[in-house]
């Protein structure tokens, strides 16, 4: 099964992605993690990714698509995957046309997302890409660029909308129910 998780930063995509990965025995792939790993590299691509992320912008479609394509060629993804953080634009969704059986939208308000990110940063220290200005730009980008992706998948009949402001267990249970998994 190929599942895409969509939601604003702080919606719980990685939490639910990891739970689904264990339940379904398929790998979880986060483009955010991929980009953070690239940003650590002392390469031209690494420096570029770090600069773009720290400014709160999205990696352009062309670069994102090529990075995701490369990762999905790996043997561990041949039986399915849970994708987090891609596609973020309609152009990416069109490229990824047959790449998702189901798209799960974890719907969380801006206020709830900010509250969660503040709590997370209070515990672990702030990541460079989670400064208040970077978060504000990412939330703005989500509304402007990613919300149209929801309509794209809604029209295709593959979108599942989940109230992401419930408990982790309630959200996970709703996802499994909508996917018809026991």
Domain boundaries, the chain: 2-172
62-107 pLDDT, tens digit per residue, is: 888 888 877 788 899 889 999 998 898 999 988 875 578 999 999 9
What is the CB neighbour count within 10 angstroms for residue 32? 16
Question: What is the pTM (predicted TM-score) of this model?
Answer: 0.82
Helix (H) or strand (E) holding 126: none
Distance CA 83, CA 27 (A): 9
Q: How much is the pLDDT for 124?
A: 53
What is the CB neighbour count within 10 angstroms for residue 77? 16
Q: How much is the pLDDT for 71?
A: 79
Q: Return the structure tokens found at 20.
A: 């689904």
Q: Residue 140 contacts by C-beta under 8 Å, 6 or more apart in sequence?
A: none
1-40 pLDDT, tens digit per residue, is: 999 999 998 899 999 999 999 999 999 988 887 888 889 9
The mean of the pLDDT values for the chain is 87
Contact in structure between 86 and 4 (CB atoms under 8 Å): yes
Beta strands 81-84 and 28-30, pairing class? parallel
Residue 103 pairs with which residues in a beta bridge?
Answer: 4, 159
> Of 94-103, 116-125, 173-182, which gets the smallest average pLDDT?
116-125
CATH topology of domain 2-172: Rossmann fold (3.40.50)
Q: Return the structure tokens found at 19.
A: 């739970």
């Amino acid at each position: 099964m190929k599942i895409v998780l969509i939601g604003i930063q702080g919606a719980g995509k990685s939490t639910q992605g990891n739970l689904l990965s264990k339940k379904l025995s398929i790998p979880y792939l986060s483009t955010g993690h991929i980009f953070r790993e690239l940003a650590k590299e002392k390469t031209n691509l690494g420096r570029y990714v770090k600069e773009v992320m720290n400014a709160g912008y999205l990696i352009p479609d062309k670069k994102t698509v090529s990075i995701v394509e490369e990762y999905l060629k790996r043997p561990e993804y041949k039986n399915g995957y849970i994708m987090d953080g891609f596609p973020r634009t309609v152009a990416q969704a069109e490229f990824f046309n047959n790449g998702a059986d189901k798209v799960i939208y974890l719907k969380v308000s801006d206020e709830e997302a900010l509250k969660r990110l503040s709590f997370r940063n209070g515990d672990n220290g702030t990541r460079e890409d989670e400064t208040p200005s970077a978060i504000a730009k990412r939330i703005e980008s989500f509304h402007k660029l990613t919300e149209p992706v929801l309509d794209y998948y809604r029209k295709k009949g593959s979108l599942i909308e989940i109230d992401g402001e419930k408990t982790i267990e309630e959200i996970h249970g709703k996802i499994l129910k909508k996917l018809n998994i026991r």
